[in-house]
Amino acid sequence: MFLSESDLQAIWLTVQLASIVTVLLLLLGTPVAWWLARTRCWLKGPVGAVLALPLVLPPSVLGFYLLLAMGPHGPLGHLTKLLGFGPQPFTFWGLVLASVAYSMPFMVQPLQNAFESIGDRPLEVAATLGASPLDAFFTVAVPLALPGFLTASILTFAHTVGEFGVVLMIGGNLPGITRVASVQIYDHVEALEYGQAHQLAAVMVFFSFLVLLVLYAWRPQTQKAG
C-alpha cells in the first residue's frame, strides 16, 4: 500500500465522520425538509434561510461561532456539560456536531425539492385510500422521493469528506480523533512532504470524481422514473 499508516488513519476517520454525519442528517434533515416542503407558515422563509447559511458563510466564520457555542461558556457547551459529556471542541463528537450544522443544507435542500416535486396529489390519494398522514409519508412520500434521498445522502457524505475550515476551527489536528484527510494533506504540505500530499490528494480527487459520476449518471434514470 502506498499510503502511510497515518494517511490510512485519516481516511478511516474521514469515512467514519462522513457516515455518522450522513445518518444523523437523514434522521434530522428529513422532518425538517418535509416541514419546509409542506408548510404555509411564515417561518418557512427564515428557517430555510438560516439552514442555507453554511452555503455562503466562510467555514471559518461558522467554525468560530460553533467553537464559541460548544465552548465551556457557550449554550451547547452548557448542554453537553449538563448531559455529562464535557465541552466538545477538539473531540470527534464535537466534529460530528459541527459537521451536522455545516452539511445540513446539502441534506435538506435536495430532500425539500424531492418532497415538493411530489406535490399534494399522491398524499391526497393516499388519504382517500385510508392511509393516515404518517402512513402516507412512509409508504408514498418516501418511496417517491427515493432519488432525492440518494442525492441528498451522497452530497452530504461528499461534502463532509471535503470539509476543512470548520474542522481546523473546531477540531484542531489530533491524530485519530480529529485529523481527517483534508487536514492530513494540509499537514503534509506544511511539512513539505509533497509526495505524500500528492498520494492522499489523488485519492480525494478520485473519490470526488466517483461520487459526482454516480450522481450524474444516475440523474436521467431518476427523471424517467419520476
Partner 1 sequence: MKQIEARFRVDWPGFFLDVDLALPGRGVTALFGHSGSGKTTLLRCIAGLERARDGFLSFRGEVWQDRSTWIPAHNRSLGYVFQEASLFQHLTVLGNLRYGMKRSASGKKISLDHAVELLGIGHLLDRKPASLSGGERQRVGIARALAVSPNLLLMDEPLAALDLKRKQEILPYLERLHGELSIPVLYVSHSPDEVARLADHLVVMDGGRVLANGPLADTLTRLDLPIRLGDEAGTILEATIGAIDDDWHLARLDFRGGSLWIRDHDLPVGRKTRVWVLARDVSLANEQPRESSIQNVLRGQIDAIGVDEHPGLALVRVRVGDSLLMSRVSKRAMSLLNAEVGREIWVMVKSVALAD
Binding residues vs partner 1 (CB under 8 A) = 121-122, 124-133, 135-136, 139-140, 143-144, 146, 225-226
**Dist CA 99 CA 64 (whole Å):** 13
Least distance from C-beta 37 to partner 1, angstroms? 18
Q: Cell triple for residue 182? A: 483534508
Least distance from C-beta 122 to partner 1, angstroms? 6
Our CB check for partner 1 shows the closer of 105 and 147 to be 147
Our CB check for partner 1 shows the closer of 23 and 125 to be 125
Q: Cell triple for residue 206? A: 478520485
Least distance from C-beta 220 to partner 1, angstroms? 15
Tell how far CA 37 is from the center of its chain. 19
Least distance from C-beta 150 to partner 1, angstroms? 14
Q: With contact defined as beta carbons under 8 Å apart, do 152 and 107 qualify?
A: yes
H or E stretch at 166? helix 165-171
Least distance from C-beta 117 to partner 1, angstroms? 12
What separation in angstroms does the CA of 217 have from each of 92, 159, 214? 34, 19, 5
Our CB check for partner 1 shows the closer of 34 and 106 to be 34
Our CB check for partner 1 shows the closer of 74 and 147 to be 147
Tell how far CA 128 is from the center of its chain. 36
Q: With contact defined as beta carbons under 8 Å apart, do 185 and 201 qualify?
A: yes
Q: With contact defined as beta carbons under 8 Å apart, do 72 and 81 qualify?
A: yes
Our CB check for partner 1 shows the closer of 75 and 226 to be 226
Our CB check for partner 1 shows the closer of 124 and 190 to be 124
Packing angle, helices 5-38 and 44-56, rounded to 10: 160
Residue 141's closest CA among 45, 59, 40, 34?
Answer: 34
Least distance from C-beta 75 to partner 1, angstroms? 39
